Amino acid sequence: MGIETFKANRPGFFLTKLDDVVNKAANWGRENSLWPYPFATACCGIEFMGVVSNVHDISRFGAEVVRFSPRQADLLIVAGTITHKMGPILKKIWNQMLEPKWCIAFGVCASSGGFYDNYAVMWGIDHIIPVDVYLPGCPPRPEAFFEALMMLQRKIKGEGPEAHEGERTPAMAWNRQQQPPIEV
């Protein structure tokens, strides 16, 4: 119970604390300076235009700089219906973005295919890219988008340095294979 048991005398204490400070500072910068890339295809794209208009203040969240090049963005906002033909293009855009990168599925069509029940519509973008936050609604209100953005900021704040190493899987994705069939 003397000085040898003091926490600061353990090996690696100073470097561990320094890593924590650097990681927290980097996450603070990441969460407060998101640069979104909108991939808008349908009515959710029009609603996203309302989000970045002068009526709503998206600059409070540090996301007012909308980029139209995937190499300059770190937040992919997929708004609207995604067909199977658009899937490879969306995957290519996702691969062109630099790490760390995040994704918001804006609206029910991007999250689960929406009310379209045909062969051309992809039933959720989580089949091709990892999704960090799902935003339900048809189309979702700007206030709901701000809530999703704050959820993403809280997620970024708690990430460790190994969060983006390797291939990620969707954090909140609904695993269709493990769900029991619905009895009618």
Instruction: Specify the CATH number for 28-157; select among 3.40.50.20, 3.40.50.2300, 3.60.9.10, 3.40.50.12280.
Output: 3.40.50.12280
Q: What's phi and psi for 105, nearest 5 deg?
A: -90, 105
Percent of the chain topping pLDDT 70? 76
pLDDT of residue 57: 77
SS (H, E, C) 76-108: EEEECCCECCCHHHHHHHHHHCCCCCEEEEECH
For 141-169, how does the pLDDT look when each residue is reduced to its tens digit (9 = 90+)? 888 888 888 888 888 777 665 555 555 54
The Cα–Cα gap between 74 and 65 comes to: 11
Average pLDDT over residues 97-117: 83
3-class secondary structure, 5 = helix
3-class secondary structure, 135 = strand
CB 109 within 8 A of CB 82: yes
CB 61 within 8 A of CB 88: no
Query: Which of 148, 130, 131, 126 is CA-nearest to residue 139?
Result: 148
pLDDT of residue 10: 57
For 41-59, how does the pLDDT look when each residue is reduced to its tens digit (9 = 90+)? 888 788 888 788 777 777 7
The Cα–Cα gap between 33 and 59 comes to: 9
